[in-house]
Structures are given as structure tokens and as C-alpha cells.
Structure 1
Amino acid sequence: MSVIEYKCPNCGSGMVFDSKTGMLSCHSCGREDNIEQLPDPMSPNVFSENEVMEYHCNSCGAVIMTEAETAATVCSFCGSAVVIGDRLSGTLAPAMVIPFSISKEEAMNAFRKWCKNGRLTPNDFMTADRIEGITGLYVPFWLYELHNKVEVHGHGTKVRTYRKGDYQITETQHFDVYRKIRLNYVKVPIDAAEKMNDELMDKLEPFPYGKLKEFKTPYLAGYIAEKYSYDDKELFPRAKEKIKEYINSYIQSATSGYTTMSFTNKQIDTRVKQADYVLLPVWMVHYDYNKSKYTFAMNGQTGKIVGKPPISKAKVTVWFASISGATLLSLKLISLMMGGGFW
């Protein structure tokens, strides 16, 4: 087992990936190194002085306790960023990664602003101490390229109504409809971490796939990373289900122009052309509020925030009262304009 840390050549402090500069940075002395020019730490004899047989922090010596899926984390005692090398090798090595572009400070500010925009959110919701618990997490995804062969048979009608003398005539034509379609979808994302909420991850899309980079472990320094819990074959059924609505929508558009359309047979053959294992950046906030658990997530590249905040009953009461008052005032004004009186 190996623990990989990136020590600053100047001062020996731990280095982390800086989302603003795209460099590996030392927060102690300010040194920056280009990730693209660093040697691969997973190759033989690279960073071997930092490898040990147990998961220990190389900065303070503390034992690093992680779940089986964790591939990168932060030491709870000294805050040093560590990457667990043997969980990122072989079949567990991601092909690509989208680095964080939003810093922790920016994410915290964005969460605060987002919460303040909630008119019915309690005033003490998302206080500073809760926001500071934000976690930068690289979530494992499979990106599928799916090729689909589609054949549909159906019955369509075209109805025309017109008048002829004193008569209204309805003319109905019947058609046998057949379509043979090829549809290819690329970079269909499915999150592969058991602990992540699938609905929450789906709502974070889209990720900017043009920002994908060849995977290098320095990107993980300073963040937590998970390895996949399910392989691409196990998640293939979910990927098929995810594109189903898009396929049906295309079929509808390909058979438009009829007054009515009913399908008698629909065959969809979906094959995986390619599935790439990637890590995508997500800021997460977990906490309890009034004995209920809340989870919020932010796309670490686009800044999109998803989650459902609690509702203040007091604010709801005030809001309904204001709406009712405004409605009553409007009705009274209308009554006066029409010559009526108050009631």
C-alpha cells in the first residue's frame, strides 16, 4: 500500500492542486509547479521516499483511516493532502479528470448567496460554521458512448375536414409507418459511487467535457476522491434508461406529420461502443438542521448548485399573508373602479 504526498522542494510543506492557477501550489512558501510537467507518480521509483506499507500521513505520522472507496483524502490531524496510490492503479486508474475551477472560498460564497436568495429559507440556515464544512470531492463516473439501432412499426392517420355544399365531410387516410433509425450518444454520464445520490448527481449536469484532461494524480491533491463502486457493465442498464427519453423523443419527431400515430412494434438495440472511467469535480455540503439531514452539491466547474433547503413556517405564513393582502387590495380597487363599495 502506498501513500503519495507532494512535498514542496523549497520548504517541505504539502502541495495541493490550485483550481485558480491550474498548478500544484505550496501554501507555505508560494511555490508553484506545472502538473503537466511533473513525472507520473505511479511509475516505478517516483516519490518512493514517501511510500510506506500502511496508510500513514507522511507529514505528521497519523494513521489515515479511510473507507474502501476513498482514493484521496486530507489528514484529519495536520490537514495534509494525501493520495492513496494503490487505489488508482491498474483497472482502478481513471482515464481522465475534469479539474476543479472553483475554489473553496468561491464555493462557500456561492452557497451563502444561493441560500440568501431562498425567500422561504430560515434565517439561520447555512451559517458560517456549516458552510466551512464544505468538501471538494472527485466523484467517479462512467462516460458511455452508446450506439443504438432503432426500428419502429406503427399506424398513422391523416384527417382532413372540409365542406361541400351543405355537407361537412371528414376524410381519413390510413398509413403503415416504418422507420429505421441509427442514433449514437457520446459522453453519457453515470455516477459510479455507491454513496452518492444518483438524482443529485444527474441534476449537476452538464459537466464541460471539453475540460477533460488526461488523469494525473496531482489533480487530486487537497481534495477527496472516490474510486468506483460499480463497473461499466453493472451500470449499463442505467445508462440505457437515461437515454430512453431522448430516443423516444427522436422517434416522435421522425414520425410527425400525422394526425394520430400509434406504434405497434418498437425495437431498440443499444450497444456500448466505449466506456471511460473519469473523475468529475463536486463541492458537497452535508449537515443536520432541526433533526433533518440536508445535502447540497455544486458542479466544481460550472458552479451549478442543486439541493432542497428547509422551509421556514414563519416565512411561509408571512408570504401567504402578503399575497392574500395584495389580492384583497386588488379586488377592492376593481370594485371601486366599477362603482361598487366595500364589503
Structure 2
Amino acid sequence: MIIHYKCPNCGDDMAFDSVSGNLSCASCGRNDSIEEFSDDYIINTFSEDEAKEYECNNCGAAVITDADTSATSCSFCGAGVVLADRVSGSLAPDLVLPFQISKEQAMDAFKKWCKNGRLTPDGFMTADRIKNITGMYVPFWLYDLHSVAEVRAKATKVRSYTRGDYVYTETKYYDVERKIDLTFQKVPVDASKKMNDELMDKLEPYDFGKLKDFKTAYLAGYLAEKYNYDNKDLLPRVKSKVSSYINKYVSSTINGYSSVKYVDQNINTRERKAYYVLLPVWMVYYDFDKQEHTFAMNGVTGKVVGKPPLSKKKIAAWWGSIAAISFIGMKILSFAIGGELL
């Protein structure tokens, strides 16, 4: 099933506009609220099963997708389409975080980010080799979690004091126990096998206060993927993700001691609720030095992540300047305490 959103004025295709938050027609400029858009102007084409080939309602051309795509565009006429059978039933997202940054704004933000790379080659900093920039809704699970941490530790307090001609060291030993309840809300984990987990993690944080109930209209004009892993598959990963925060919090409650040695530590984390959501990501493909570099941008905040190329000359110059400053500093210190400044 393919969905096209047709303009009631001129019949051209409409797409989600990140600036206005509405469905927008590029031909006549009409804007419609997604909440109020009439179903009369949604055109559907049905398929019997989840095929990899659909038919474009605009021009009749075949829309070829892989099995994970849920929104794309016709390669012939450019119409944005949503494959509705891939966002319905068990594949229907609970929520969507709409794009807040337009393609033009994303392009400008990426160029600005490139120019701030002090250790990147000069040719990269010009940001004039952007091969493609694609708006994509990436499938995530958001978890509400409840954790109970039970900890037992041995701790010491050590103090030294002088009495007469003798220096005494006093050591006191303590048994420390903690039982802590912690709750986490909307912890994100990407559910696409195509996306790099580390890259997706670095895009955080997202403003989840702007989440909307899912409607297919938000996907119009963008690419979208359906999830490959369900919430049960990713539960071990989200537990691992919050474990470092739990350990830090437990440690913050055991202070004032000279030493702490953990004897037993038991952390039990349970899922309270999981939401299937689509989060906005601009994927930027940059062609530099005969290689394609991939970067990701948070579609709400404009945060860019990825590994840019580094200039060996700039790195060498940077380390040289640090060494020179350190050398001068040592000479000044030597002179200040009675040495000679050579």
C-alpha cells in the first residue's frame, strides 16, 4: 500500500515541512495542518503482501525498495510516498519526532561544523564537496525502566595525628550497604540493523517533549526505515546503556571514606514500558580526497556526529606548539626559582 498526499488546490504532491510543521505543496504554496488534513486527498494503492516493488500513483513507475523501507520517493517523478503496510499493525510507530530543521538549514549547519574543524585538512573545511544529504526517520525504541541496586562494601577512614614525639595512624573499618530505586524515562536505542549504533548514540539528546502521535503525513518527503529488532531484542542493550549511570549514582552515595571496596553488587533493571518511535536524522555524505565520509545530524538540534579526516601537518603543528609552550613555561619557572633563562 502506497500513500500519496495530494494538494486539494492543484493536485500536486504535498510533503511535510519542518519549518511550519504542516503538509506543504511546493507548487502552489498551500499549507495544511496534519491533524486536520482530509482523508479525501490521500491516494492509496494496495499490495497483497510486503513486496519490494510498488507502483507510483503519480507516474505509474515502479517504486523499488528493500524490505526495511517504510517511506521513500519515486526515482522517476520524485514524489514522496509512504508504504503504509510497513507502518501499520505491529509495525505502526507509537510516536514520531518530526524534523525541526529543513534541508537548507541542515546544509548550512553542516558547512558551519566543517569550518570549525581546526585539525581537519583545509580542503575539507571549505565544505564544498557535499555529495548528498538525506532526511531519514530512524526507528528507535524508547524505554521506561525501573532499576533496583543493592550494594555491600567495605570502607575505611584513615586519620593521622601527632602526640608528643610520635605520629599515629588510626584506621576505622565500616560495613556499607545501599539499596537504591532508580527510574529512567524514554531511554533511546536505535532498532535498525543498518545504522551505526555508536553514531546514533552520539546524536543524543533529543527533545522528547516535541514527540507527536504517529501519522503517516510526517513521513511524506522523507525516507523512513522500519525496525529490525523489537523491544525484547534490545532490552540487554538498554540495560547496558544505563548501567554506567547507575554505578555513578551508587558511587556518589558512598563518600567521605578513605577507601571503598565493593563486596557484592546486584543491579536488577526491568522494562516498565517501551515505545516504538521514529526519530529524525539528516544523513550527510561528503566526498573528500577520493573517499566518501558519512556524517549524521540530529534533525531537531542540528548536532553533527562522525569522524572527519585529520591533517597530519596540523596535528604535528599543534603538538609542536604545545611542546614549545611547555618548554618556555619550564624555563620561566626555572628562572623564577633561581635558575638561568637560556
User: Fold match, TM over 0.5?
Assistant: yes
Indicate whether 1:50 and 2:44 are aligned. yes
Q: For residues 105 and 273 of structure 2, what CA distance do their matches in structure 1 show?
A: 35
Q: Secondary structure at the match of 1:244?
A: helix
- The corresponding residue for 1:284 is 283
Q: Which residue of 2 aligns with 1:303?
A: 302
Unaligned runs of 5+ in 1: none
Deviation at 1:271, TM superposition (A): 0.7
Describe the SS at the equivalent of 1:210. helix
Q: What letter is aligned with 1:27?
A: A
1:29-178 equivalences under 5 Å are: 29-38=28-37, 47=42, 49-53=43-47, 55-125=54-124, 130-131=129-130, 133-178=132-177
Q: Relative to 1, partners in 2 of residues 1:162 and 1:341: Cα closer, same or farther, differing over 3 Å?
A: closer
SS of equivalent residue, structure 1 residue 134: strand
Structure 1 SS opposite 2:119: coil
1:23 aligns with 22
Determine if contact 1:95/1:215 at 8 Å carries over to the other structure: yes
Letter in 1 for 2:155: G
**In the alignment, what sits opposite 1:260?**
259
Q: Which residue of 1 aligns with 2:4?
A: 5
In the aligned structure 2, how far is the partner of 1:334 from the partner of 1:265? 49
1:179 is aligned to 178
Matches of 1:306 and 1:326 in 2, distance apart?
Answer: 31
Report the CA distance shift for 1:334/1:152 in structure 2 as closer, same or farther (over 3 A).
Answer: closer
Rounded to whole Å, the distance in 2 between the matches of 1:130 and 1:140 is 29
> Is 1:244 matched up with 2:238?
no
Question: Which runs of 5 or more residues in structure 2 are unaligned?
Answer: 48-52
The answer (yes or no) to whether the contact 1:152–1:266 under 8 Å persists in 2 is yes
TM-score (ref. length: structure 2): 0.89
Q: Distance in 1 between matches of 2:328 and 2:67?
A: 62
| Aligned-residue CA RMSD (Å) | 2.8
* 8 Å contact kept, 1:3–1:51: yes
Segment drifting more, 272-281 vs 116-125 = 116-125
Where does residue 213 of structure 2 map in the other structure? Answer: 214
SS in 2 for 1:272: strand
Indicate how the Cα distance of structure 1 residues 36 and 260 shifts in structure 2: closer, same or farther if over 3 A, else same.
same
- Pick closer, same or farther for the CA change 1:322–1:157 going to 2, 3 Å: closer
Q: State the distance in 2 between where 1:267 and 1:324 align.
A: 47
Q: CA deviation at 1:308?
A: 1.2
Indicate if the aligned counterparts of 2:130 and 2:286 stay in contact, CA closer than 8 A.
Answer: no
For 2:50, the equivalent position in structure 1 comes to: none
For residues 238-267 of structure 1, give each alpha carbon's deviation from its aligned partner in whole angstroms, at most 9, with x where no partner exists: 000000011101111122222111111111
Question: Residues 106-158 of structure 1, C-alpha deviation per residue, up to 9 Å, x if partnerless?
Answer: 00011111111112323333777743510101111100011111111111111
| Residues 111 and 131 in structure 1, CA contact (< 8 A), matched pair in contact too | no
Structure 1 pair 174–120 and aligned structure 2 pair: CA distance change class (3 A): closer
Letter in 2 for 1:223: Y
Contact 2:131 2:285 in 1 (8 A): no
Give the SS at the match of 2:283: strand
Change (3 A) 1:262 1:335: closer
Q: TM-score, normalised by structure 1?
A: 0.89
Aligned length: 336
Runs of 4+ displaced beyond 4 Å: 126-130, 314-342
Distance 1:323-1:260 versus aligned 2 partners, 3 A rule: closer
Query: How far apart, in 1, do the equivalents of 2:95 and 2:209 lie?
Result: 11
Distance 2:101 2:81 in 1: 20
CA–CA separation in structure 1 for the residues paired with 2:280 and 2:341: 62
Distance in 1 (CA, whole Å) between partners of 2:85 and 2:319 is 57
Partner SS state of residue 233, structure 2: helix
Partner secondary structure for residue 5 of structure 1: strand
2:114 aligns to what SS in structure 1?
Answer: helix
Q: Contact 2:332–2:341 (CA<8 Å) still a contact in 1?
A: no
Give the C-alpha shift of residue 312 in structure 1. 2.9
DSSP-derived class of the 2:234 partner:
helix
2:149–2:179: 8 Å Cα contact kept in structure 1? yes
SS of 1:237 mapped into structure 2: helix
Aligned-pair identity in percent equals 58
Distance in 1 separating the partners of 2:54 and 2:85? 11
Which moved further from structure 2: 187-196 or 115-124?
115-124
Larger CA deviation: 313-322 vs 137-146: 313-322
